[in-house]
Chains A and B, each alone.
Chain A
């Protein structure tokens, strides 16, 4: 699928913002508006929006510790088949959220610890999630296929 990515690319968007949870509304609006423009239906749009929130909040919480820093979000729309690819970059400390062990989702309410659930939701609801540390940047990429609705 990756051989003819240039021909498949329909549109690309980019947002750079402070890696801070008070920017979440800005990030969510950006992602949802781009996906809507691309004809991505409401269900997949919301699934992607949840995943984007989880990743962004993770970056906002861990990447720069108590200092402030930037997060860059690139959103690409591909066709044949329709797919959204979202790449998050930050220059914070190297941190692979995918390396964390998955939470035990079979535990009872009493024994439940909520930690790690956000990343787990991303892994379970997206088609592909990958992490790399390149040129001093954390690069986390998520992919999700969607059906176009006019």
Chain B
């Protein structure tokens, strides 16, 4: 998986490419840790993300919890496969998916 970060003022856009799974989720967690301070809007672009498993959901949940206090978070360009995972796990209710 590759992670592309782009900062615009206080908006951080994180574009993921590949698979957010047990192997790559820690990588995203590490990338986010030092990046979120001062961020009021966190946007995940999933256009090139093929796949997400529970390990990826765990990282999204933790980011959501941080951003609930600091501003907002949303996920854009979600494919059908990932959308179904969000639905069955109730994540579509706790995340903002556009």
Contact = CB atoms under 8 A, between A and B. Distances in A.
Interface of A: 21-22, 24-25, 28, 43, 46-47, 49-50, 53-54, 57, 105-110, 112, 114, 117-118, 120-121, 124-125
Interface of B: 19, 21-23, 50-55, 57-58, 61, 64-65, 68, 80-81, 84-85, 88-90, 93-95
A21 B68 CA distance: 31
B57 A114 contact: yes
A114 B53 contact: no
A56 to B, nearest CB: 9
B81 A43 contact: yes
Interface of chain B, helix or strand or loop or mixed? helix
A34 to B, nearest CB: 17
A109 B73 CA distance: 12
A90 to B, nearest CB: 17
Contact of B94 (A28, A47, A108, A125): A108
Given A24-B22, A50-B53, A109 B61 contact: yes
Given A24-B22, A121-B89, A54 B61 contact: no
